[in-house]
Amino acid sequence: MTRILITGAAGFVGRAVAQRFLAEGHEVAGVDCFTSYYDIALKEARVRTLEGQAGFSFHRLDIADGAAVSALFQAFRPEAVVHLAAQAGVRYSLENPRAYTQANVEGFLSILEACRAHPVRHLVYASSSSVYGANTKVPFSEKDAVERPVSLYAATKRANELMAQSYSHLFRIPASGLRFFTVYGPWGRPDMAYYKFTKAIFAGETIDIYNHGQVERDFTYVDEVVEAIHALVGRPPADVVEGDEAPGRVDPSVPHCIFNIGNHTPVPVGEFVAILERLIGKEAKKRLLPMQPGDVLKTYADVDALRRAVGFAPRTTLEEGLARFIAWYRDYHGNKLG
């Protein structure tokens, strides 16, 4: 049994990761502060699916509070940390930038400092495919330059990678950063396009489709992400590696890796909406718009490093994953559906 601290445990991916480790009998401490960025009732409902399970404890605190984070580490003594708490969303970073520096930079510093004071076997943390920014070479590889962010959200996630690299170099903290590519599935985030589109189609409301549906996304089903995290937690980067053959290694002398987690299959948003329409059995009302500031035209993950590291091989088709999401959506929202 391993003691695992999961930040963002009331979040979409955090809840799913906690459930995976609890099912194996691990001791899990979940952390979240229930920000009002989206429906708090959904976050509370996610946590309720975990409460009462053997080995689970929940701690409501803000990760930007370094003293509170340090006290939790001191009390729980985690052997591994899965850090998923963050202020998410590209467009919201245009409206409330300080929320991003507070949660994503100050919050991550609290986690790094706690790992420094109370060493762990492995720190696995969430980055984002948004760090690729204005890159046009596809598929995106971890070896690509990522110095052209097109949103503050992306800049804070790139800052996380650089912070982890420095702490891993200075204090030998084994760390792995995960660049998520458009994760979707049951218990998902209402601010994400697939959730908003589903809600609008059921309600007969108009959906906004940017770049006339020609934006492409590498949609990744949540269970694939969970399995990748589960496998990585038990495989921390070694302190010393000869050469740079270790998959995902940023610097051969530093125990820090970065991995893409994606489906390796970009899909135009127009095609994505068509799948939703078929599954729901209702045509969407569409408003075609130009590109949004801060958006990128295409995301496409090269997942070879993750495949070599843990055998990652996504198997869930977009239609299968969306069918599972819609089944959950109908169940969760029940008589609120239009």
Q: Known catalytic residues?
A: 153
Q: Decide if 144 contacts 133 (C-beta within 8 A).
A: no
Q: Decide if 260 contacts 142 (C-beta within 8 A).
A: yes
Find residue 258's DSSP bridge partners: 177
Beta carbons within 8 Å of 119's beta carbon, 6+ residues apart: 173
Question: What three-state secondary structure class fits 122?
Answer: strand
Of 46, 48, 56, the closest CA to residue 22 belongs to 56
| Core vs surface per residue 134-173: b (16+ CB within 10 A) or e | ebeebbbebeeebeebbbbbbbbbbbbbebbbebbeeeeb
Phi, psi of 268 (to 5 degrees): -60, 140
Beta carbons within 8 Å of 51's beta carbon, 6+ residues apart: 58
Rounded CA separation 249/246 (Å): 6
Q: What 8-state DSSP symbol labels residue 335? A: G
Rounded CA separation 316/326 (Å): 15
Look-up: residue for tokens 């590696």?
241
Q: Decide if 301 contacts 131 (C-beta within 8 A).
A: no
Burial class, 336, CB count within 10 angstroms (exposed 0-12 / middle 13-18 / buried 19+): exposed
What is the DSSP annotation of 212-248?
A: GGT-EE--EEHHHHHHHHHHHHT-PPPS--STT-STT
Of 230, 227, 249, the closest CA to residue 240 belongs to 249
